[in-house]
Every structure is written in C-alpha cells, then in structure tokens.
Amino acid sequence: MPPQSQPAVFGHVHGLGVDSVTGVAYAATHGGLFELPPAGATPIAAADLGDPIAGRAQDTMGFTIDGRQMFGSGHPDPAEQSATPNLGFITSNDSAQTWQTLSLGGEADFHDIEVVRDAAGALSVYAVDARTGQITTSTDGGVTWHSGADVIMRDLTADPASGTVYATTEQGLAVSDDDGATFEVDPDAPVMYLIDWVDGPSADGLVGIDPDGTVWTRIGAEDWQKRGSVSGDAEAMAYSPVPQPVLLVADARGIVTSDDFGATWLAVVER
C-alpha cells in the first residue's frame, strides 16, 4: 500500500530564508516549504497560508538560500514513493517547485546548513549531519564532503571573507578557523542558541539569540550588544541584507521581521 499523504501543517519551523533578488521569504517546516507574505503586509494566520509549495510536504530539516538558489536536506514527503528516509543534500533553482539531489542522496540528514560564497564566487557549505553529529564541509558547492569536529550544537554560521565558522553550544559560542575541523569556545561571547552572519552596510558581524530571548549583535569592532528580544522560544532565525536588511524570526508569535535587530517587530504570519 502506498504511504498516505499527510495534511499540510505549518507547525514547527526548521529554517527561514530570503530570496535576495525578489525579496520573497520562505519557511521550511515539517510539512513542507511555505512562501511567506511580504513584510509590511497585513499579517495572516498560519492556517491561511494554504498548502506548501508544489503541494510537497517534505520535512525540510535544513534550509538556506544563496541568491535565488535554495539548498535543503531532511526527509521525503510521506506521499512520495521513496526507498530511503533521507533526502541527502538537495537544491532548487525554481523557488522550490522542483528539487534536485546534489549529493549524498538517501544518506545525509542535515539539520543545519550554512552556505557562503567568497569574493571569487566559490561556494562553501557547512552542515551538521544528524546521523553522525559531525560538522561536514564542502568547498565545491556540495558535491564532495569531508568530516569535521563532533560538536553538540544548535546552530552554525560562517564568515564568507575569512571562512571562520561559528557554532552555538551549551558551553558558549564555539569558533573554528580550520573549516570546522576543531573548535574553541569564545569566553567573551554570550551563550546563544541561534546565530547568523550579518552583511552590514558599513561593517559585517554576527547576530544571535540567547536562551532568554535576547537578541545580541557584534558588528565590526564593537563588543557584543543587547539589541532587542523575541517572544518565547525562537525556532529559527535568518538575517538577509538584501533587498532590505531584515531579521526574520519564528517564535511564539508566529513569523516576525525586524529592521533594527529586534527593538521593534512586524508580524508576517500569526500562530
């Protein structure tokens, strides 16, 4: 008997991303990938988002966007015939209408993915494989991979210029200068569980959320600063510098955006 299709459910948000060309934001969930209303529009209820893109309820555990190209990992739509439980490393160039397997098909289950492009255009990928607990790195856009450190972490990001990798752990912010092979905890950083890289208009840096919901930034040469707060437990966070700088967060309110690192918020989707 073929697997039964599950009803579309917005539910828990695994990842958020913004198409830097169109400005359209997306949420990756247990029940598929959803296109979000534009920031500034009248917020809508999660139940009114309708079906996931292309009607596909794949469990996209890891998700990010580089330009217009989407990258993901996780588990297939229960309604699709699949001999394996894991998607591997997949990509979409048509706003999630279709997906192609780049590598590790049927094998990898990445629960966090960070894609960075250097000044020469080379694409590096940093991911956490839920099967092994290892940070896994690719320097050729996700075609071939090598294993890094075993780190119990919640989120990771990377500096495109230096290649420095940052991971959030219970001990504090862990930093790697060797592509994720080894990490050391930064004693001066707050303990955070979500983090992302900030491409700022005048200086780059980091934005993160701590267990109490406080939003922190470290931009350029400045020290860590408290900037705002979220509501309840934040499930996912993404920063996008274009078309307009925006911080996108999924928390107890739903999905909200901020252009001042959490001092003020606009609701996009309400739970």
Q: Report whether 214 contacts 179 (CB < 8 A).
A: no
Tens-place pLDDT, residues 206-222: 999 999 999 999 999 99
- What is the edge-to-edge ordering of all strands in the sheet holding 194-198? 194-198, 205-209, 214-219, 225-229
Asked if the model's pLDDT at residue 3 lies above 80, the reply is no
> Percent helix, strand, coil in the chain (nearest 5)?
5, 45, 50
Averaged pLDDT of the chain: 91
Q: Per-residue pLDDT averaged across 66-85, rounded?
A: 89
- Which domains are present in the chain? 13-270 (2.130.10.10)
Distance CA(82)–CA(75), nearest Å, equals 10
114-124 pLDDT per residue, tens: 999 887 888 99
Which two tokens mark 44? Answer: 């809508």
**DSSP-H helix ranges across 79-123:** none
